[in-house]
Chain A
Amino acid sequence: MDAQVIHTRTASHWIDASGVGRSVYKQGAEESFADAIENIDARITLSKAFGKAVPLLVDLRPIKSQTRDVRSYYGGPEAATASVACALLVESRISTLIGNFFLQVQQTRLTTRIFSSETEAIAWLKGFQK
C-alpha cells in the first residue's frame, strides 16, 4: 500500500515504510504561524492513521525562513503529540541557522537533534521506535 502523503502550503508529510515520519519543506518555503498549524495537523493526522506517535525526520534544507511564533509553536505540546523524537536535517547556511536557532533558543518538549546526514538522522531516530 502506498504511503499517505499530505501536502501543505510549505511542506509534504508522510510516514515511510520503516515507520519514520517525514516532513520535507518545499524549496524556498517561508513558514508562517498558520503554516505551522497546518503542518502539525498533518503530522497528527498521519500518526493517528498509523496508530501511534512516530520518530520524525524534518528536512529543513529547502526552507528559507520561519517566524518566531512558528518556532515557539513547534516547541509546544501540539508538536509533541504526533512524534516521539525529531531529527532536523540541514545543509545550507540558512537551514543550519534556522535549525540551530530552534534548538538553542526555543525550549522544546520533543527530543530534537540536528543532522547534516540523512543516514545518521534515520539511525538515531530508529532508536526511538517501540
Chain B
Amino acid sequence: MNGELSFSARLQMIRTMIVELTQGDTGQRDDLHQQIDAKISVLADDLAQRDALTAEADRQGNELIQMMLAMAVGDYSVRVAVGDDDTLLNALGTGLNMLSEEVAAYRDTRERLQQEIIQMQAATLREVSTPIIPITDEVLVMPLIGTIDAQRAQQVIEALLEGIAARQADVAILDITGVAVVDTLVANGLIRAAKAAQLLGARVVLTGMRPEVAQTLVGLDVDLSSIATYGSLQAGIGAVLQQFTNDTRHTNGTRLSLAHYIEQLPRSA
C-alpha cells in the first residue's frame, strides 16, 4: 500500500488531473490520461488490499469474540488462530490463548483441591461420627451422636467390625444416648451390626435406650431380643465389667471370652 499519501489526498490529485484534462491541449491530454490510469490502478490495488485486510481483521475479530463467549460459559478449549505478523489482533489472539490456558489450569487446580478437601472432610467426619473407644482389652465403646441415615448406619457397621477385628474385642457397646431419632432404619442397622459382630465372635450391647426410644422401637415392632440393652452407658459398662470380674474370679483368674459372659447378661436392664 502507498504509505506516502492518504486515499483522500490521492483522490484529490486525480481530480486535479481530470480538471487539467478538460482544460489542457491535446498533447497534455494523452499524458494526463496515462497518469490518471496509473494512479487509479494503484488506488484500486490499495483498496483491494485494504478490503482483504479488513476481511481478515473481521475474521480474527469474530474468532476472538467466539473465544470470549466460550470462555464466558466456562469452555476454555477454544483457541484463536494467530498469524505471523505482529499486528494488534495477533497479539490479542496470543494473549487470549495464553489467558485461557491459565484460567483453565487455575480452574482445574481449584477443582482438584476442592475434591481433596471434600474427601478429607468426609474422612474426618467418618472418624468423628463413628468413634471407637477401647475401655479394656476386651471391651469397645462406640458412642453415636446425631442423626443416622442409611449411609451412616453402614459406616457404623464397618467401623464397628474394623474395631472388633483390630483389637480382637469380645464386646462392643453401642451407645445411642445421643442419637436424635431411632427409627426402623436405625434399629435395623443396630441389629445388622450385632449379627455381623457375632460372626467375628463378639457381642453387641446397646446402651442409652431412652424411654421414648424404647416406645418407638416397640411401636415399630423391631426384634432386639438378640442384643443386651441398658438404659445408660454407665449401666451397660458396669454390667459388662461386673460380669467379667465375677466370672474371672470364679475361674481363678483364667481369662475367658467375655462374649461367653455376655450371653449370661439379662437382655434388658
A interface with B by C-beta (< 8 Å): 28, 64-68, 92-94, 97-98, 101, 105
Q: How far is the CA of A77 from the CA of B84 in the complex (A)?
A: 32
A94 touches B91 (CB 8 A): yes
Contact of B91 among A66, A68, A93 (CB under 8 A): A93
B interface with A by C-beta (< 8 Å): 82, 84, 86-88, 90-91, 94-95, 97-98, 101-102, 105
A97 touches B95 (CB 8 A): yes
Question: Quick one: given A65-B94, A98-B94, are A93 and B101 in contact (CB under 8 Å)?
Answer: no
A64 touches B82 (CB 8 A): yes
Centre residue among B86, B87, B88 by max chain A CB count within 10 A: B86
Q: How far is the CA of A66 from the CA of B95 in the complex (A)?
A: 11
A65 touches B97 (CB 8 A): yes
Q: 5 A-B Cβ contacts within 8 A? A: A93-B91, A97-B94, A97-B95, A101-B98, A101-B102
B90 touches A94 (CB 8 A): yes
Question: Quick one: given A97-B98, A98-B98, A101-B98, are A64 and B91 in contact (CB under 8 Å)?
Answer: no
Question: Quick one: given A64-B82, A94-B86, are A105 and B97 in contact (CB under 8 Å)?
Answer: no
Across the A-B interface, give the 3 residue pairs with the lowest CB-CB distance, nearest first: A93-B91, A68-B101, A92-B86
Residues in A neighbouring B98, C-beta threshold 8 A = 66, 68, 97-98, 101
Residues in B neighbouring A93, C-beta threshold 8 A = 86-88, 90-91
Using CB atoms, name the residue of chain B closest to A28. B84
Residues in B neighbouring A64, C-beta threshold 8 A = 82, 84, 94
Q: How far is the CA of A99 from the CA of B208 in the complex (A)?
A: 68
Using CB atoms, name the residue of chain A closest to B83. A64
Residues in B neighbouring A105, C-beta threshold 8 A = 102
CB distance from A64 to the nearest CB of B (A): 7
Q: How far is the CA of A65 from the CA of B97 in the complex (A)?
A: 9
Residues in A neighbouring B97, C-beta threshold 8 A = 65
Residues in B neighbouring A66, C-beta threshold 8 A = 98
Q: How far is the CA of A62 from the CA of B84 in the complex (A)?
A: 10
CB distance from A62 to the nearest CB of B (A): 10
Contact of B82 among A65, A68, A101 (CB under 8 A): A65
CB distance from B80 to the nearest CB of A (A): 11
CB distance from A118 to the nearest CB of B (A): 18
CB distance from B109 to the nearest CB of A (A): 12
Using CB atoms, name the residue of chain A closest to B89. A93
